[in-house]
Amino acid sequence: MDATTRKQLQATACKVRMGVIEGTFNAKSGHPGGSMSISDLLTYLYFAKMHVDPQNPDMADRDRLVLSKGHCAPALYSVLAQRGFFPYDELKSLRHIGAMLQGHPCIHIPGVDMSSGSLGQGISTACGMALAGKLDNAAYKVYAVLGDGEIEEGQVWEAAMFAAHYKLDNLIAIVDNNGLQIDGPITEVCSPEPITDKFAAFGWHVITMDAHDFDSIDAAFNEAETIVGKPVAIIQKSTKGKGVSFMENQVGWHGKAPNKEEYDKAMAELTAQLSELEG
Amino acid sequence: MADVIKKATRESYGEALAALADKYPNLVVLDADLAAATKTGVFKKACPERFFDCGIAEANMMGVAAGLAASGKIPFASTFAMFAAGRAYEIVRNSIGYPHLNVKIGATHAGISVGEDGATHQCNEDIALMRTIPGMTIINPADDVEAKAAIEAAINFDGPVYLRFGRLAAPIFNDAGTYKFELGKGIILREGKDVTIIASGLMVSEAVEAAKQLESDGIDARVINIHTIKPIDKDIIVKAASETGLIVTVEEHSVIGGLGSAVADVVTESKPVPVVKIGVNDEYGHSGPAAELLKEFGLCADNIAATVKKAMANK
């Protein structure tokens, strides 16, 4: 990845994070922590990897993304707004009555490929899309983004078994390994570790990457594209709340909105990061 | 009824899917290790490239069906009613119902006529569960002819459909040459002015038989077959309430939340008359031959006739 592209992606990811803060602040609820940990990932996918067209969100040969960890909808909405699927101002009415942007992803929102939010289900729907792609000999890829806490759901492993059995190499699951879930660290709540070994044992090709380093992200997805006959699991080592100092690695920011003071502070930090990147 | 041909609607399911495979190239069939029992094995034999066994993993199967539908396929997700509506309820609600995807759920082995397998596999709650999902269409066909017509109608309908099939061979009373399936429309099988028996699925032929018995007692019973439980045919029910003043519902399902409840919802809102519900009364089934269980639980012509007579006396 060249330096200009990297810098552009970093700047866009910063704007995506600002949208997450904007959305959750105005909603007075929502999930900023896990949204911030996948902001770089979604920025990379929607700006550097996926074949999508904001003017034609339902085009048949588009790449698809299922946000299986649907509570992190603020990040998905924010990246879709940045990519031009709908105006940025929609983020300000996130979760409001009559708003387009529902608390969890809804298939009727432009750019959202599947409703999700009840954990463990998105990986199955992504399997269905990948299977349809195989039936149609289509070239599209299907990305499923899961939480590391989410994979405690048994359905995830039903889907993992299915994807390997049917050799869905057009399916890439990304596990956001920020290590924290609502009740605490994943290793203390009911540990899903070792995550890489589990996916490998289920017949997946497993790659690990640094979730906040675009060179690492790029390398992981380029490797994923070379894999034939197996689904790919990318375990991204991430920081919950990444980008805002007081949110980083704080389990309390899983499902809490910033108040006005916190909003101002977070936006100031992100604005400073953006100025540095664009300066 | 000695010369009446019988066939289980699960057989109709497998045969119809296989017969329609060429006509509908987007048709895809999923099963959860029950292809021999749900009869999707017939489709698998005819069209192996569009059959996918998901193993014993019903939650994932429903999600896979949702993803297939979101990509333009018409998936039939097949398993026993207990697992389709029961185990996978929340996946059906959130991954299929909420996005209103074009998934057809083929639920076989519904009701207590599962027989010897007993209570764990006798699903008497599926209609109630599926009725609560906004936008879900529910079809409970009565015989082979109706089941096959319903399956093609479901293919041509854009949206989630729950199709309920039985394990037990049911009398074929509809004429394949003249039968027309209209989604959401009840069928008057017999006119009558004293009482209306509204039945669904396996109970329809029992209701017709009960009406014959009642005739000899001087009771003129109307019989209505409700194959589409949701959306239900309000007009035919309100008309029956107005013209006969008494309704008896019969279903191989719990009396809580099924056909009887759906009919009562319509009647109480539009034309209040007594509604007497025959079904499984808030209890589990148990093991035994299907025919004996049906008698024991009152899901037979004799009990329908007796219940109607008692209700007529209180009219």
Closest by CA to B38, choosing from B102, B81, B92, B90, is B81
Q: Which residue has the tokens 């960890």?
A: A69
Q: Name A143's bridge partners.
A: A65, A172
Query: Looking at the predicted structure, is the pLDDT value of residue A212 above 90?
Result: yes
Q: What percent of chain A has pLDDT over 70?
A: 100
Closest by CA to B301, choosing from B224, B209, B217, is B209
Q: Domain spans of chain B?
A: 6-171, 187-313
Distance CA B134, CA A29 (A): 26
For testing contact with chain A, the best of B54, B56, B64, B74 (most A CBs within 10 A): B64
Model confidence over A86-136: pLDDT tens digits? 999 999 999 999 999 999 999 999 999 999 999 999 999 999 999 999 999
> How far is the alpha carbon of A145 from chain B, nearest alpha carbon, in Å?
15
> How far is the alpha carbon of B56 from chain A, nearest alpha carbon, in Å?
9
**Cβ burial B74-107 (10 Å sphere, 16+ → b, else e):** bbbbbbbbbbbbbbbbebbbbbbbbbbbbbbbbb
Q: Which CATH number fits domain A3-278: 3.40.50.720, 1.10.3720.10, 3.30.9.10, 3.40.50.970?
A: 3.40.50.970
- pLDDT interval class at B111 (50, 70, 90): very high
Query: Looking at the predicted structure, is the pLDDT value of residue B88 above 70?
Result: yes
| Mean of all residue pLDDT scores within chain B | 97
Q: Domain spans of chain A?
A: 3-278
- Tell me if A118 and B70 make a contact (CB, 8 A cut-off): no
Which residues, including other chains, have CB under 8 Å from residue B45's CB and lie 6 or more apart?
A: B18
Look at the pTM and tell me if it is higher than 0.90.
Answer: yes
Distance CA B66, CA A128 (A): 7
Q: Is B62 on the interface with A (CB under 8 A)?
A: yes
Which pLDDT value is given to residue B2?
A: 53
Angle at A6 between CA A3 and CA A7, to 5 degrees: 85
3-state secondary structure of B146: helix
Alpha helices of chain A — where are they, by DSSP H? 3-27, 32-37, 39-44, 73-83, 122-135, 154-165, 186-189, 195-201, 214-224, 260-278
List CB contacts (< 8 A) between B91 and chain A: 118, 121, 124, 155
Which pLDDT value is given to residue B225?
A: 98
Mean pLDDT of A156-167: 98
Closest by CA to A67, choosing from A22, A126, A23, is A126
For testing contact with chain A, the best of B51, B60, B74, B91 (most A CBs within 10 A): B60
Q: Is B90 on the interface with A (CB under 8 A)?
A: yes
Q: Answer yes or no: CATH 3.30.465.10 is held by domain B6-171.
A: no
List CB contacts (< 8 A) between B57 and chain A: 155, 158, 161-162
Mean pLDDT of A45-62: 98
Domains B6-171 and B187-313 share a fold: yes
> How far is the alpha carbon of B247 from chain A, nearest alpha carbon, in Å?
41
Model confidence over B134-174: pLDDT tens digits? 999 999 999 999 999 999 999 999 999 999 999 999 999 99
Q: Is A128 on the interface with B (CB under 8 A)?
A: yes
ipTM passes above 0.90: yes
Phi, psi of A66 (to 5 degrees): -110, 120
Is B58 one of the annotated active-site residues of the chain? yes
What fold characterizes domain B187-313?
Answer: Rossmann fold (3.40.50)
List CB contacts (< 8 A) between B87 and chain A: none
| Mean of all residue pLDDT scores within chain A | 98
Decide if A192 contacts B90 (C-beta within 8 A).
Answer: no
3-state secondary structure of A247: coil
List CB contacts (< 8 A) between A116 and chain B: 95
Closest by CA to A52, choosing from A78, A30, A71, A79, is A79
Which pLDDT value is given to residue B80?
A: 98
Which residues, including other chains, have CB under 8 Å from residue B71's CB and lie 6 or more apart?
A: A64, A128, A129, A132, A133, A136
